[in-house]
Amino acid sequence: MVLVFNLGFEGQEDGHPSGSAFRTFLFYTMAGYGLVLLIGLYVLWTFGSTDGASLITITKTAVVLGLPASLGAALARLLI
């Protein structure tokens, strides 16, 4: 995901919007991963995968769903 940010697409702001690389990471990357995890949890709940499962199992499964979702989002940024 860092690669996508550093490619510098046309229309992308120069530098970091807040002046800090950490703030950029926090506001863009972590917010994106948070959304991906919430959507993963929703998909698990919709298909009944959370019924009777422990919190650890649900968390691990949501993280596994989050990896392809975040990679797909980064690739979509490259294509669009």
Q: Give the range of the structural domain holding residue 24, as residue numbers without chain letter.
A: 20-79
The pLDDT of residue 47 = 94
Mean pLDDT, to the nearest integer, of 5-23? 59
Q: Domain for residue 3, yes or no?
A: no
Q: Domain for residue 27, yes or no?
A: yes
Distance CA 70, CA 21 (A): 20
Nearest residue to 58 via CA among 70, 72, 42, 73? 42
Q: What is the pLDDT of residues 20-75, one digit of tens each?
A: 767 776 777 778 888 888 988 999 999 999 999 999 999 999 989 888 888 887 77
Q: Domain for residue 12, yes or no?
A: no
Residue 8 banded pLDDT, cuts 50, 70, 90: low
Distance CA 34, CA 73 (A): 13
Instruction: Specify the number of domains making up the chain.
Output: 1
| Cβ proximity of 75 and 1 under 8 Å | no
pLDDT at residue 80 greater than cutoff 70: no
The pLDDT of residue 32 = 80
